[in-house]
């Protein structure tokens, strides 16, 4: 896949018709050109996504100002340019009306909400936003799975996918840009979606991608080492999450106490919150036990985790989440409580889960079981932090009678400070470590691998460590090192269907590569329907 084949930006089928003069009255600091009689039907940040009749929002990028693309926008049918003063000078030659604002990115959310009619005062689906380092994608998919089970027409926006009343589109960013997010909400409303699960990254909050949106419920999973390429330290990273738990962003909150930062979110939140705890995985088990809702792990199986959720007024339910690991039970507990806080009836949820015997959710690339009934168990996972490695390896260990092999790489041009810890977590949790490549981007993949290897050797000099490049060779070698009763955890690629190599998206599927390696070694693999949907097994 190349950058030109990115998934499309979704818009309502019946686009709005807004007067440019009214937009200027609400948002402009200055106006250049004649706005009279001009109407717009949407807005976008990218000329590649621009449709005739829309306004092009030009912002200052890292290397270039978006206003340089104003002539292209005009050729594609843009009706106006919205930009800052510097951009207005650059865009003048395009011959379009220009609306000047102080900071186009900062105003984009409110602009988009006004254009698409998706502000806090407008009729919208129930909005359920989840943030945290690990687990926010899983919680979002679990929310949607349960909504479907209770008969609610649902929507989803996650790192992996966008869902609109049954339509599935591959995602671009964890959280879309504000213009795309509001267009997506308008489309969902148009299709009578009742509730939407949204994954909210720290960058989305810092970069105004969810501006103009007030979530009915905001959930917090945990916080651990990640994204220190974007934030100076863990304090700044933590503080980037906090705005989600203010009245400007959400009406209610559900906070997990399974990491030390959960209690700090509760302390800083300025909206009503309830808490969820999983004593089996929380560093402070006593604090987790005192949460409003408590998740207890009842059984760990290769096809999922059985847990009990208990809360106020003696309410309890026991069910299975179709992914291994207590951390996945914790995610499921958080999702259920978020639905309750969003106004969904407890008995309705309990009845649906009892009827189906489990949560019917597909979590793309989250400890996804891709192997057969015999031979090594192979799991493909999206985890890319030391904490995710530790938790997922521990979960795999508990359901594996034999050896555990960890296969992984690291992102290039992303937070390099976590790489030593990633190698260390892999070595401490496995019997065999295999280091390979992931998305090198513009970094030297050899250098990335060397840091991961160093971290593994520092943590456990005695562990068996191998290095293979490219990953196509690494998975073949890994399968050859294990046998029946053993397990391979391939962390990093998860649901993704490409590798980013020097700016090019090269087609690539870890799931399919793992299947081929197993077949070449003589092991059976299930039909595609099963490994894509583990809850159908």
For 126-163, write each residue's pLDDT tens digit: 999 999 988 899 999 999 999 999 999 999 998 778 89
Distance between CA atoms of 244 and 198, rounded to whole angstroms? 12
- Largest Cα–Cα separation, the chain: 75
Whether CATH 3.40.1190.10 fits 126-356: yes
457 contacts: CB under 8 Å, gap ≥ 6: 423, 427, 463, 465
Q: How confident is the model at residue 117 (pLDDT cuts 50, 70, 90)?
A: very high
In the numeric block, which tokens belong to residue 11? 């818009």
pLDDT at 433 over 70: yes
Pick the CATH number of 368-536 from 3.90.190.20, 3.90.1150.10, 1.20.140.10, 3.30.230.80: 3.90.190.20
Tens-place pLDDT, residues 315-365: 999 999 999 999 999 999 999 999 999 999 999 999 999 999 999 998 877
pLDDT of 465 above 60: yes
Q: Where in the chain is the domain with CATH 3.40.1390.10?
A: 17-116
Residues of the chain with CATH 3.90.190.20: 368-536
Q: What is the pLDDT, as a whole number, of residue 312?
A: 97
Torsion of CA 133, 138, 140, 144, to 10 degrees: -170
Q: In CATH terms, is domain 17-116 a member of 3.40.1390.10? A: yes
Write the pLDDT tens digit of every residue in 166-221.
888 876 555 679 999 999 999 999 999 999 999 999 889 988 999 999 999 999 99
Mutual angle of helices 260-268 and 234-241, in 10-degree steps = 50
Mean pLDDT over the full length of the chain: 91
The helix (H) or strand (E) run that includes residue 316 is strand 316-321
Q: Which residues have C-beta within 8 Å of that of residue 486, sequence separation ≥ 6? A: 376, 377, 400, 402, 403, 404, 405
Distance from C-alpha of 60 to C-alpha of 103, rounded to nearest angstrom:
9
Mean pLDDT check: name the lowest of 224-233, 294-303, 480-489, 506-515: 224-233
Vertex 325 angle, CA 268 and 535, to 5°? 110
Q: How far is CA 242 from CA 138, 245, 261, in A?
A: 20, 6, 11
Distance between CA atoms of 326 and 395, rounded to whole angstroms? 7
Residues of CATH 3.40.1190.10 domain(s) within the chain? 126-356
CA distance 211 to 173: 16
Instruction: Give the global pTM.
Output: 0.81
Give 377-408 pLDDT, tens digit per residue. Answer: 999 988 888 988 998 999 899 999 999 999 99
């Amino acid at each position: 896949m190349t950058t030109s084949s990115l998934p499309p930006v979704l818009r309502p089928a019946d686009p709005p018709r807004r007067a440019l003069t009214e937009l200027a009255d609400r948002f402009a600091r200055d106006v250049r050109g004649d706005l009279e009689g001009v109407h717009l039907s949407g807005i976008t940040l990218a000329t590649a996504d621009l449709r005739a009749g829309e306004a092009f929002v030009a912002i200052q990028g890292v290397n270039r100002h978006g206003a340089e693309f104003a002539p292209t926008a005009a050729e594609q049918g843009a009706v106006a340019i919205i930009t800052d003063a510097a951009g207005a000078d650059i865009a003048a030659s395009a011959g379009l009306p220009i609306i000047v604002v102080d900071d186009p990115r900062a105003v984009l959310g409110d602009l988009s909400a006004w254009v698409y009619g998706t502000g806090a005062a407008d009729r919208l689906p129930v909005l359920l936003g989840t943030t945290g380092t690990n687990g926010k994608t899983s919680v979002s998919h679990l929310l949607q799975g349960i909504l479907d089970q209770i008969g609610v027409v649902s929507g989803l926006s996650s790192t992996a996918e966008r869902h609109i009343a049954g339509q599935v589109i591959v995602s671009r960013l964890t959280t879309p840009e504000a213009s795309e997010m509001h267009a997506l909400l308008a489309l969902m409303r148009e299709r009578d979606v009742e509730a939407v699960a949204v994954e909210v990254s720290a960058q989305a909050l810092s970069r105004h991608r969810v501006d103009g949106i007030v979530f009915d419920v905001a959930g917090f999973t945990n916080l651990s080492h990640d994204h220190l390429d974007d934030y100076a330290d863990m304090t700044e990273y933590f503080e980037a999450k906090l705005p989600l738990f203010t009245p400007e962003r959400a009406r209610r909150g559900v906070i997990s106490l399974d990491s030390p930062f959960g209690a700090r979110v509760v302390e800083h939140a300025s909206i009503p919150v309830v808490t969820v705890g999983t004593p089996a995985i929380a560093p402070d088990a006593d604090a987790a036990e005192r949460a409003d809702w408590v998740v207890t792990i009842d059984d760990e199986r290769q096809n999922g985790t059985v847990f009990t959720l208990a809360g106020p007024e003696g309410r309890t339910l026991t069910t299975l989440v179709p992914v291994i690991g207590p951390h996945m039970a914790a995610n499921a507990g958080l999702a259920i409580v978020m639905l309750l806080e969003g106004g969904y009836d407890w008995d309705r949820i309990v009845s649906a889960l009892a009827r189906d015997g489990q949560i019917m959710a597909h979590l793309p690339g989250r400890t996804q079981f891709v192997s057969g009934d015999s031979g090594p168990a192979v799991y493909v996972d999206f985890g890319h932090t030391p904490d995710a490695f530790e938790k997922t390896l521990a979960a795999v260990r508990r359901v594996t009678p034999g050896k555990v092999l960890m296969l992984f790489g690291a992102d290039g041009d992303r937070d390099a400070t976590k790489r030593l810890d990633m190698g260390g977590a892999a070595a401490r949790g496995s019997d065999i470590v295999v280091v390979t490549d992931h998305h090198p981007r513009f970094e030297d993949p050899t250098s990335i691998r060397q840091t991961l290897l160093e971290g593994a050797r520092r943590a456990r000099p005695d562990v068996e460590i191998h290095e293979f490049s490219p990953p196509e060779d690494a998975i073949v070698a890994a399968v050859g090192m294990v046998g029946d009763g053993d397990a391979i955890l391939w962390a990093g690629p998860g649901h993704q269907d490409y590798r980013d190599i020097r700016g090019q998206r090269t087609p690539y599927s870890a799931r399919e590569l793992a299947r081929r390696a197993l077949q070449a070694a003589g092991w059976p693999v299930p039909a595609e329907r099963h490994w894509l949907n583990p809850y159908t097994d």
